[in-house]
Amino acid sequence: MRAASDFALVYRANIAVVTAFFARRCSDPQTVADLTSETFVEAAGSFESFDARKGSARSWLFGIARRVYADHCAAAATGRDATSRLAAQLTLDDDEIEQLAARIDDQRAGRKLLQRCARLPELDRAVIELVDLAGLSPKEAGTVLQVSPGAVRVRLFRARARLRKGADKP
């Protein structure tokens, strides 16, 4: 059985990058806080099954965060999200809102890069974000995306070349 202290180490080492992941996608501090919290609640609930031989804790958390965000988008698109989020929302105090607003602002460059990547294929966008913005290695990004590290490196090279040329088309 894994100790809570092991999860606490994973949490402390990754809270900033997971928050940044959501801050690049959301402009509302409450939503960033909720999605970050949901990610770590899911991670805590499945920490017993985490296998470091299959990938790093960071790549495992990014896999969870991507799923949480996809679920959030799907719920928002169908209108299911509003009522359940309001009912479960933990109100942030002013200091927390300011801190999250600052983190969201800090991710401005990341949001701009993601906007430049909008016309790239989904996998290329994900590779750029995970490697260039989140700092994952190609092996870790491959684990998150369920592709080989070699495929990640090829996608990364091609996506960066397209961005340099300004031809953000696939």
86: pLDDT strictly greater than 60: no
Residue 167 has what pLDDT?
Answer: 52
Give the integer Cα–Cα distance in Å for 154 and 128.
11
- Greater model confidence, 82 or 164: 164
Phi and psi at residue 99, to the nearest 5°: -65, -45
Q: Are residues 99 and 112 in the same domain?
A: no
Q: How many domains does the chain have?
A: 2
Same domain, 81 and 121: no
- Rounded mean pLDDT of the chain? 84
pLDDT band at 80 (very low <50, low <70, confident <90, very high): low
Q: Are residues 95 and 129 in the same domain?
A: no
pLDDT at position 170 = 47
71/140 same-domain check: no
Query: How many CA atoms lie within 13 Å of 83's alpha carbon, on the beta-carbon side?
Result: 3
Contact 33, 104 (CB under 8 A): no
DSSP 16: H
Q: What are phi and psi of 160, to 5 degrees?
A: -65, -40
> Long-range contact list for 148-154, CB < 8 A, 24+ apart?
152/127
CATH classification of the domain holding 116: 1.10.10.10
Collect all residues with Cβ–Cβ distance below 8 Å to 146 and sequence separation of at least 6.
none
- Considering the domain architecture, whether residues 116 and 63 belong to the same structural domain is answered as no
What is the per-residue pLDDT for 82?
55
pLDDT, residue 149, reads 93
Q: Is the per-residue pLDDT at 39 higher than 70? A: yes
What pLDDT, on a 0 to 100 scale, did the predictor assign at position 169? 47
Is the pLDDT assigned to residue 24 strictly greater than 70?
yes
For residues 151 and 170, the answer to whether their CB atoms sit within 8 Å is: no
User: Domain span at residue 95?
Assistant: 1-106
- pTM for the whole structure: 0.68
Which stretch of DSSP H or E encloses residue 35?
Answer: helix 29-46
